[in-house]
C-alpha cells in the first residue's frame, strides 16, 4: 500500500465515521422531537430494513466467497505442489491426509 492510498483510505474512514456520527446525532434529536411512542415505531421499521440489508450483504458475500474457492480435479481431490530453493518442496492436498503411521508422529 502506498502512502497516497493510505492517506485516501484513512480520509475515507474518517469521513464515513463523521457522517455516521452526524446521522446518529440527527436521528437522536428527531426521536426526542417526535416522542417516545412514535420513535419506538420508527426505530422498529428502521431496524427491519437494516437487518434485511445485512442479510442481503451476507448472502452476497457468501456467494462471492464460494465462487472464489478452487475447483476440485475430476477425481475429486484438490492438489497443489510448489517448489522453491534447491531442495525445498511444499505439497498441499484437500481431503483426507495420512502423515506417517496412522497420523501418529514419532511412533513406529
pLDDT tens per residue, range 19-59: 999 999 999 999 999 998 999 999 999 999 999 999 999 99
Residue 85 has pLDDT above 80, yes or no: no
pTM, two decimals, is: 0.47
Asked if residues 44 and 31 have their Cβ atoms less than 8 Å apart, the reply is no
DSSP letter, residue 73: P
Higher model confidence: residue 29 or residue 4?
Answer: 29
Nine cell digits for residue 90 = 511444499
Q: Which class for 39: exposed (0-12), middle (13-18), buried (19 or more C-beta within 10 A)?
A: middle
What pLDDT score was predicted for residue 98?
A: 53
Amino acid at each position: 500500500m502506498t502512502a497516497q492510498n493510505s492517506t485516501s483510505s484513512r480520509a475515507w474512514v474518517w469521513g464515513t465515521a463523521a457522517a455516521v456520527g452526524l446521522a446518529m446525532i440527527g436521528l437522536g434529536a428527531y426521536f426526542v422531537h417526535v416522542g417516545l411512542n412514535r420513535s419506538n415505531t420508527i426505530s422498529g421499521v428502521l431496524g427491519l430494513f437494516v437487518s434485511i440489508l445485512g442479510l442481503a450483504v451476507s448472502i452476497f458475500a457468501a456467494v462471492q466467497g464460494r465462487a472464489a474457492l478452487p475447483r476440485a480435479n475430476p477425481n475429486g481431490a484438490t492438489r497443489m505442489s510448489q517448489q522453491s530453493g534447491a531442495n525445498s518442496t511444499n505439497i498441499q492436498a484437500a481431503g483426507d491426509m495420512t502423515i506417517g503411521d496412522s497420523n501418529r508422529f514419532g511412533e513406529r
